[in-house]
Amino acid sequence: MKDRHLRGRTPKKTAGFCWGRVVRDGTVTYRLFRRDQRGALHYFMRVYTIEELQQFRGDIRPVLAHELKRARRLLRDQVDTVDLALMGVS
């Protein structure tokens, strides 16, 4: 059996967006990554505890999806601001 899903993944080398989820010791960690034009890595990390996840009633997936989508937009805007500054536009 392959254990590739258990090992940590490195972010893309290109300017694309990638993410990772780590479940460990009663916590779930979501990490969002994006690179700017220089290749510098920018990231957002959110750690959920089991107690935090259990407080939701019903299905938690829509709540997590909404929070991660908002975080992805914030990360995109942050990296776009850096890219525009590098191009001398802003």
Contact 14, 38 (CB under 8 A): no
pLDDT at residue 19 in the model: 87
Contact 20, 9 (CB under 8 A): yes
Residue in the structure block whose two tokens are 């019903």: 58
Query: Tokens at residue 49, please?
Result: 């505890």
pLDDT at residue 53 in the model: 87
Residues 45-78: tens digit of each pLDDT: 999 998 888 888 888 889 899 999 999 999 999 9
pLDDT at residue 16 in the model: 76
**Percent of the chain residues topping a pLDDT of 70:** 82
pLDDT at residue 32 in the model: 93
Please give the average per-residue pLDDT across 22-41, as a whole number.
Answer: 90
pLDDT at residue 5 in the model: 56
